[in-house]
Structure 1
Amino acid sequence: MEHIFFKGQVLWSMIDANRHLRHSAYSDFCTQARNNLMVHIGLSVNECAKFGIAPILFREETIFHREIKMDEEIEVAVEMTKHNKLNNRFSIAHTVYKADGTKSATVHVDGAWFDLKNRKLTALPPEVVAIVNKIPKSSSFVEE
């Protein structure tokens, strides 16, 4: 497995009535994995704020493959699948794996870059484009 940006244990508070990982916990794990990725490439939340930008999401879709139960260890891989040439919209795929390598879920998000001052979508400054280009790309990556 490549591009792992989160490893952790499923906690009691993440379990639903069916005794497996609740649907929204997948989103929480993937959000943390994206944050870890951004820190890894040098574009943490604080660094984004220095440039007056932040990533926002428009859509999130989860495809469940295998259940995960309490106390299991998981890993989340993150890869960019799409980025437009204006550098303001992106798509990211997350793959959630059980400790034995079984794919448990795939989470796709579509988002854009947001200008924190003007409260609208924005293109990235050239110095940020260079940083964003460090995000791992999927084998099916598309630049529009």
Structure 2
Amino acid sequence: MQSNVYEGKVMWSHLDANGHMRHSAYADFASQARIAILEELGLDLGTFQRLKIGPILFREELFYLREVGINEQLRIDIALTKARPDGSRWSIRHDIYRADGAKAAVVHVDGAWMDLKLRKLTGLPEELQVLFNHMTRSEDYTEQPEK
């Protein structure tokens, strides 16, 4: 069963000079969470390499809400907020929580799939579209029109 949750621990390398999690570490956690959820869906790196396609981002937006320190356990909840019916374009929200339940950050990304050989945008093959469509949708999910 696919979940929409990823958990990870803040390490020394995630900290900035002020002793709290550096800005880019939030994006790193969100990225790792996305890859883990895609893998749970059956969209793993090996499949992408075999098909010579991969996810790309057009936009990444972060909202910092609470400080995060070393050795804190984080939970990242992921939800698809919008997508085209064929899954060729999509947006995902990552809500990052500290162990005490406080929401520490929100990361929004807009992305698509790239044909790595042609270096052009592409859609997913039909069998992968079916898998991608099992991603958890947000309460405010909207379907985007086809191109």
TM-score interval w.r.t. the shorter chain? over 0.9
| Structure-2 residue corresponding to 1:4 | 5
SS at match of 2:32: helix
| Structure-1 residue corresponding to 2:48 | 48
| Structure-1 residue corresponding to 2:89 | 89
Contact 2:95 2:103 in 1 (8 A): yes
- Pairing 1:102–2:102 present: yes
Which runs of 5 or more residues in structure 2 are unaligned?
Answer: none
Amino acid at match of 1:130: V
Q: Deviation at 1:51?
A: 2.5
| Structure-2 residue corresponding to 1:75 | 75
TM-score under structure 2 normalisation?
0.91
- Cα distance in 1 between the residues matched to 2:4 and 2:37: 9
Query: 4+ residue runs of structure 1 moved beyond 3 angstroms?
Result: none
Q: Aligned ranges for residues 124-135 of structure 1 at < 5 Å?
A: 124-135=124-135
- Cα distance in 1 between the residues matched to 2:117 and 2:12: 39
Amino acid at match of 2:123: A
SS at match of 1:24: helix
- Cα distance in 2 between the residues matched to 1:43 and 1:72: 29
Identity of aligned residues (%): 44
- Pairing 1:141–2:147 present: no
TM-score under structure 1 normalisation?
0.93
Q: Deviation at 1:47?
A: 1.0
Which runs of 5 or more residues in structure 1 are unaligned?
Answer: none
Amino acid at match of 1:126: E
- Pairing 1:27–2:27 present: yes
* Aligned pairs, number: 142
Q: Deviation at 1:86?
A: 4.4
Amino acid at match of 2:98: K
Contact 2:4 2:135 in 1 (8 A): no
Aligned residues: CA RMSD: 1.2
